Structure 1
Amino acid sequence: MKKVLVVFAVVMVFFSKAQITDYQKLIDSIAQSRWDSTSIDIDSLANPKIVNIRSLKNDTVKLSNNTIIVSNTDDTSPLTPSSILNLPTLKRWFFFGQNSLVFNQSSFANWYAGGNNNIGVIGKVNYNIVYKKNRHYLDNNIQMGYGFVSSTGQSTRKTDDYINIMTNYGYELAQHYYLSTGFQFLSQFTPGFNYANTPEPVYDNRISKFMAPGYLNVGLGFSYNPNENFQVIVRPLNGKFTFVLDKKLQTAGTYGLEKDGQSMRAELGAMVNILYKIKIYKDITYVNQINFFSNYLEHTERVDINYSGALNLKFNKYISGVVTIDMMYDHDQIQKLQRKQTLGFGITYNLGYKVDRDTTTGVIKPFVN
């Protein structure tokens, strides 16, 4: 009997074991799939995958209050209070310098139409040094230029020669309005000649030189500057001084002198100066500047007019062109319109600090342009 019970128990265990295995496999497979979906694959950590998460970067360069900054401009128009206030970061000192060197050359050999070999060079500098703090504004502008042309069979002749130094102080009375005072000095570097009358001039044939003439304007008034493209300066009280420091040229009628031997002529009147800049295209701008002066002391109706226009063409960072026209009418000097026009293409290098924001990192970095 015992043997029968043992055999029966073994058989029952065998059948029960077979039934439990099928169900257990099904249950284990379900549990395993859930475990795989939620568990971490330890082996995958050997080859981690980095996800690109976008982050906002803060500026990492701090500019001190004395940093010199200027807007990225390539024209010759002066910095105005409005152009400074519109800069990304307001600072006290601003500096901008533009240096231009223009060449022109012609050469002929057996040329049927004829011609004369020549070479010409014109150099110009234009510097702005500006201080702005609270309501105070001080602008210093220095413009200088000199050019000459040398032709076969002729003496070297100058084609451009000027010195123009301006200083203007403003105190902000209200938005866009300033109490204004300052001075302007004008002259030239070397003697000038009338080549039509003296094709081969000597020094005694000079009709001008440094401080003959020289002009000094000093005045007090107001200025209005609503934006960087427009500025008006009105000076109801303005002194105009004409210097002729060459005894040979100190004759009555020359540069408005009233008598022989006179070295300076003083005038008191009103002055109006208007600056208007037009952006024709992306890299083409036209700068207009006109000045009016009326003498209170005599012949108030005879208004002196001085106009300057400059068409600036930018081809790339260093190559640019400029077309200028200057017109002046001064009844005391000559009862005719005086006109000068220049055209040049050459190398331009801008010197100064500006603010530039890197588009990839968002970091502000100062650098010399």
Structure 2
Amino acid sequence: MKKVLVLFILLLGIFFNAQVTDYQKIIDSIGQKKWDSTSIDLDSLSNPRIIDIKSLKRDEVQINNSVVIVPNNDASPLTPSSILTLPTLKRWFIFGQNTLVFNQSSFANWYAGGNNNIGVIGKVNYNIVYKKDKHYLDNNIQLGYGFVSSTGQSTRKTDDYINIMTNYGYELAQHYYLSTGFQFLSQFTPGFNYSATPDPVYDNRISKFMAPGYLNLGIGLSYNPNENFQLIVRPLNGKFTFVLDKKLQTKGNYGLERDGQSMRAEVGTMVNVLYKIKLFKDATYVNQINFFSNYLEHSERVDINYSGALNLKFNKYITTSVTVDVMYDHDQIQKVQRKQTLGVGVTYNLGYKVDRDSNTGVIKPFIN
């Protein structure tokens, strides 16, 4: 009996010892997994990998993980470099500027004399860019119209332009872009020579919509090392001049070679330079100059178009702009053409809106 009891106790001890061992194995395996997940792999320190952590600029507001809005009050043209300094893009970039300028004078028994008048100029400038990887589609719309109305005189136009650009581009390397696209320029309403016809009628018109109208098509390269400088070279560029008003289809008008001609075609090279100077905090001067040489006829006669704009910002909405435009086109008129404007008015800017991504860049092939 004693032998049976001793054997029973021995078997019971072996059983309990086996159970404790299984539980310990389970507990040990859990502990090992926890240790493996939190411990440092010392071997990996021999080949470290640096992770780029994106940071927002001080003047940015992060709305959520995918959208960043950056305010911009600079009226100067956008360049690839100015976009590359923003948070990374995903698909869409939008910038819009709206300007309205008023001028008004009123006189009553004023001994020095004067004429009651009121003037208005409205301008819009929108950039809409679509980006995916190294491919870009850049759309720019610039519209402007102004008039002045004085007592005893007909309403006179002071500004009138349509400028629409669409360009496709491909990023080749840092600061270099391959681009192609078109640019369309014209005006909204008929224009008159008020010196020759102080009170003109429609038959006195010297221009109108699509008379003239200009279309530029080209392919080339652009170089943009920083936001203040941009160089565009298009060795293959087509320039088409349209005059779709029969009254204005006269030899010599807008470079037409014969009476009744409605279109003049030129093929040549185009060079465009943008240089922006920041005078002080709220004042910038933007220089833009364009050269075009016709391969087909008189390549030595280079068309030159210069535009200078001084932009002064008083506060978020009130701005002053002084512009000077100088142009020489031997085929149109063998004299220097000049236009100067000064305006103080209200400007409202839409901020940059970009989606975040791992790639950056935008192409600005055409400059006005």
TM over 0.5: yes
SS of the residue corresponding to residue 91 of structure 1 reads coil
1:307-364, Cα deviation, whole Å (9 max, x unpaired)? 1111111111111111111111000000000000000001111124458xxxxxxxxx
CA distance in structure 1 between the aligned counterparts of 2:325 and 2:92, rounded to whole angstroms:
31
SS of the residue corresponding to residue 82 of structure 1 reads helix
- What is the deviation of 1:231? 1.0
Find the counterpart in structure 1 of residue 120 from structure 2: 121
- What is the deviation of 1:274? 1.1
Find the counterpart in structure 2 of residue 166 from structure 1: 165
- What is the deviation of 1:303? 0.3
TM-score computed with the length of structure 1 as normaliser: 0.77
CA distance in structure 2 between the aligned counterparts of 1:60 and 1:240, rounded to whole angstroms:
44
1:231-255, Cα deviation, whole Å (9 max, x unpaired)? 1110000000000000000000000
1:46-80, Cα deviation, whole Å (9 max, x unpaired)? xxxxxxxxxxxx9985343xx4x564322333322
**Distance change >3 Å, CA 323–CA 60, structure 1 → 2:** closer
**Distance change >3 Å, CA 269–CA 113, structure 1 → 2:** same
Pairwise mapping of residues 23-42 of structure 1 onto structure 2 (< 5 A)? none
Amino acid at match of 2:314: F
Find the counterpart in structure 2 of residue 46 from structure 1: none
Find the counterpart in structure 2 of residue 313 from structure 1: 312
1:118-165, Cα deviation, whole Å (9 max, x unpaired)? 000000000011123322232211111000000000000010000011
- What is the deviation of 1:90? 3.2
Find the counterpart in structure 2 of residue 236 from structure 1: 235
Q: Any stretches of 5+ residues in structure 2 without a counterpart?
A: 1-55, 355-368
Paired residues of 1:70 and 1:95 also in contact (CA < 8 A):
no
1:276 aligns with 2:278: no
Paired residues of 1:256 and 1:333 also in contact (CA < 8 A):
yes
Amino acid at match of 2:64: K
Paired residues of 2:237 and 2:268 also in contact (CA < 8 A):
yes
Amino acid at match of 1:62: N
1:5-29, Cα deviation, whole Å (9 max, x unpaired)? xxxxxxxxxxxxxxxxxxxxxxxxx
- The ranges of structure 1 where at least 4 consecutive aligned residues each deviate by more than 6 angstroms after the TM superposition are none
SS of the residue corresponding to residue 261 of structure 1 reads coil
Find the counterpart in structure 1 of residue 333 from structure 2: 334
SS of the residue corresponding to residue 258 of structure 1 reads coil
CA distance in structure 2 between the aligned counterparts of 1:282 and 1:352, rounded to whole angstroms:
19
Find the counterpart in structure 2 of residue 132 from structure 1: 131
**Distance change >3 Å, CA 275–CA 61, structure 1 → 2:** same
- What is the deviation of 1:113? 1.7
Paired residues of 1:70 and 1:94 also in contact (CA < 8 A):
no
Find the counterpart in structure 2 of residue 34 from structure 1: none
TM-score computed with the length of structure 2 as normaliser: 0.77
Pairwise mapping of residues 1-369 of structure 1 onto structure 2 (< 5 A)? 61-64=63-66, 67=67, 71-354=70-353
Q: How many residues matched?
A: 295
Amino acid at match of 1:162: Y
Name which of structure 1's ranges 266-275 and 85-94 shifts more when overlaid on structure 2: 85-94
Paired residues of 1:125 and 1:143 also in contact (CA < 8 A):
yes
1:151-193, Cα deviation, whole Å (9 max, x unpaired)? 0000000100000111222211111001111111100000000
* Larger-gyration structure (1/2): 1
